[in-house]
Amino acid sequence: MSLVACGGSGDSSLSNPPVGLGREDTAPVPDETKVLPYVDYAYTNQRGMAQYATLSTNAGVRVVSGFLDLWTPSSLIVDAGQTAPATGNFPAVTASAWSGIPGDATDGKKVNAAVLDANIQYVVNLTANRTAEQATAAYLDDRRQKGYSVTDGLGPLTDAWRTVARQTTTITGVPADATTKLYNDGGNNIGVGVAGGNTEFGTVVDFVNSPPNGSTEPAKRFFKYARPWRWSTSVSVVPSLVPAKSSTPATDGGFISGHSAEAVRSGLMMAYVVPERYAELVARSLELGENRIMAGMHSPLDVIGGRIQAQAVIAAALYNQANKQVPNPAGGTLVVADQRDAARTQARTALMTAVGAKDALALQAFAQSGTSTNDRFADQTAMRAAALRRLTFGFSPIAATDKAAVVPKAAELLLETRFPYLSATQRRVVLKSTALPSGYPAMDDAEGWGRLNLFAAAQGYGALQGDVTVQMDAAQGGFHARDTWRNDLTGAGRLLKTGSGELRLAGAASTFTGGIWLQGGTLAADTATALGAGDVYIEQGALQVVASQPVQVSRNLTQLPTGTLQVVLGAKGQGSLNVSGTARIEGDLQVSFAAGMAPKVGDVLPVLTHGARFGNFRRITVSGYKAVAVYSDTGVSLKITAVGG
């Protein structure tokens, strides 16, 4: 049903779009003369080579050196159970005298005893209250290969991935004799690659398996910090994992956690090729880290260190592929293949075929179609809370919390498939705007790896500290056609949406004040505060209102004749707009109804409340009904006059 509304007048004060800050935000790389970028020195993460045995020469040690604010190892060298011949000006490495037993004469020294004591007490408390279900999960994440474990973060896509990747495991439960016998996984971790004859998915498998220099052993053998069950007999190791306890403490350091690092590495590489499940794969990786604590095998700081190093390792792997070369530890460079586009394309194509998705947008919808029966990460609120807990494990800051975030060199590559419609600079700003506060133990490294919150970054900007232009081309499909930002947006910047794609804002408490300027495509308000606290200016395209509560426009709403307002009305004001200031309405209004909403003839449904109004809607279309507009001094409603259009 369509009718033409007339009346009202213009107002020049509402003719201009919001001005925002008049500048874009940036996230420059830290000064490379003072802070050596991990991605340029990842090849130095070696042991058994004297030239890479120190803090200053080993990037894998240096990236987690914030731990030195808490702990001083007995020697500042990669030497726990390790020797290396002299090389050039670098003296030979002799094995450390460290026994691996906390508190004896060979051990290191606590710099911050309060934090380190809390670190071990956390494990004591967690393992003392562990349920049987948690013990089983900890066992599986210990004994299974990490790539297999992480793939259940794919939710509805898990079975498809495991089938096309030919991914296997031999650890499917806790064996009855696990308390006395050690079981190792005979599966293939990620799956079968090209060399194994997997033409359907082998490039993906090879890509996920490709990162070099991911070992945590150099850091373990440098920091020489014991596992929690050696620090305290009150730590309860999962009984089925007792056979996995090492009997050689001098080569069994706890910091950093190798399992946690491997999980994050696998999760990030999978997220690169299946960005439709980016946040969930990060969440699953963090869960595996917590399960290392649940097992009694690692402490929170061990797990945090593993996460920090793994993020740097994957950024370096992507950086090397982008440059098509990697430094050779023995000197010179080695040529590497750039598998990024091929792996992403193959993953998308194979998974679309496997689940019957007609295009990339349908795959995206399928990936997020899970319920509690086939997706442990379907509850967004619970997933977010768990991820945040697993980033800091309840530690209180020990330094200033207001230091500006810095973004490491090449870190933006971690998000390039998740936000293909953003520029590299914008992706760096996403990382900056979602970073964790400063001051947490071991997380304030100079490059910024420790404060990265990739779970939040996968949900879009966290703040608009500059004006942001988002241009989306629906013809390119996938995230170009539709995306959702779930973070609360703060700051004084303006959001300018252009292009034909659809951007959905779902922040639960967005407060950004720079306003919204819609120049094309669709901008959807999925929550009551999604539009922030500034002006909303609809020049072209459609503003879609679908929140379950009335959506707030804190200042003025301007809709030009070329702009459209789409509302999905439901009970209790769902789909309506509350404009605190003045509403200038001159374009089309398109009305549909939420599931379960069936208006009756004679019903009057609120669409818009306002402080003042200029103009009327140019044309009103109501799906399935005939209606007339009811204009008043305080708002606009629709009166249903007949069923059928």
pLDDT at 329: 83
Which helix (H) or strand (E) covers residue 289, if one does? helix 278-294
What is d(CA 266, CA 243) in angstroms, rounded to the nearest whole number? 26
Contact between 442 and 449 (Cβ < 8 Å): no
What is d(CA 522, CA 453) in angstroms, rounded to the nearest whole number? 28
The mean per-residue pLDDT over the stretch 615-641 comes to 96
User: Tokens 């004679």 appear where?
Assistant: 602
What is d(CA 300, CA 306) in angstroms, rounded to the nearest whole number? 10
Decide if pLDDT at 4 tops 90.
no
Decide if pLDDT at 175 tops 60.
yes
The mean per-residue pLDDT over the stretch 132-161 comes to 98
Q: What angle do CA 642, 632, 620 make, to 5 degrees?
A: 40
Decide if pLDDT at 12 tops 80.
no
Tokens for 45? 């993460």
Sheet containing strand 625-631, strands side by side = 551-553, 577-579, 604-609, 635-643, 625-631
Decide if pLDDT at 6 tops 90.
no
Q: Is 143 exposed, middle or buried (0-12, 13-18, 19+ CB in 10 A)?
A: buried
User: Tokens 């539709």 appear where?
Assistant: 482
Q: Which CA distances in Å does 148 have to 170, 190, 285, 366?
A: 10, 6, 11, 21
What confidence tens digit (pLDDT) does each residue in 405-427 have? 999 999 999 999 999 999 999 99
pLDDT at 331: 83
What is d(CA 588, CA 591) in angstroms, rounded to the nearest whole number? 10
What is d(CA 140, CA 284) in angstroms, rounded to the nearest whole number? 13
Q: Which CATH number fits domain 38-401: 1.10.10.60, 1.20.144.10, 3.40.50.720, 1.10.3720.10?
A: 1.20.144.10
What is d(CA 105, CA 93) in angstroms, rounded to the nearest whole number? 21
What is d(CA 503, CA 499) in angstroms, rounded to the nearest whole number? 10
Write down how long the chain is: 645
User: Tokens 């005939």 appear where?
Assistant: 626
pLDDT at 326: 85
Cis-peptide into 640, omega within 30 deg: no
| CA atoms 457, 463, 465, 466: torsion sign | positive
What confidence tens digit (pLDDT) does each residue in 14-57 have? 779 999 999 999 999 999 999 999 999 999 999 999 999 999 99
Q: Are strands 635-643 and 604-609 parallel, antiparallel or unpaired?
A: antiparallel
Report the chain's mean pLDDT, rounded to a whole number.
96
Decide if pLDDT at 5 tops 70.
no
The mean per-residue pLDDT over the stretch 194-211 comes to 97
pLDDT at 7: 39
DSSP-assigned letters across all residues of 212-262: ----SHHHHHHH----HHHH-TT----GGGGGGS-S-GGG---SS-HHHHH
Name, in order, each residue with C-beta under 8 angstroms of 176's C-beta and a sequence gap of 6 or more: none
Decide if pLDDT at 64 tops 60.
yes
What is d(CA 73, CA 556) in angstroms, rounded to the nearest whole number? 60
What confidence tens digit (pLDDT) does each residue in 584-611 have? 999 999 999 999 999 999 999 999 999 9
What confidence tens digit (pLDDT) does each residue in 307-363 have? 999 999 999 999 999 999 988 888 888 899 999 999 999 999 999 999 999 999 999
Contact between 111 and 127 (Cβ < 8 Å): no
User: Tokens 């509302």 appear where?
Assistant: 567
pTM for this predicted structure? 0.96
State the pLDDT confidence band at 9, using cuts at 50, 70 and 90. Answer: very low
Decide if pLDDT at 169 tops 70.
yes
Q: Which residues pair with 625 in a beta bridge?
A: 643
Residue-range domain boundaries for the chain: 2-23+464-643, 38-401
pLDDT at 332: 85
Q: Which residues pair with 63 in a beta bridge?
A: none
What confidence tens digit (pLDDT) does each residue in 483-541 have? 999 999 999 999 999 999 999 999 999 999 999 999 999 999 999 999 999 999 999 99
pLDDT at 642: 96
The mean per-residue pLDDT over the stretch 68-73 comes to 98
DSSP-assigned letters across all residues of 308-341: HHHHHHHHHHHHHHHHTEEE-TTSSEEE----HH
Name, in order, each residue with C-beta under 8 angstroms of 29's C-beta and a sequence gap of 6 or more: 37, 407, 408, 409
The mean per-residue pLDDT over the stretch 447-468 comes to 98
Decide if pLDDT at 277 tops 90.
yes
DSSP-assigned letters across all residues of 560-599: -TTEEEEEEE-GGGTT-EEESSEEEE-SEEEEEE-TT---
Decide if pLDDT at 75 tops 70.
yes
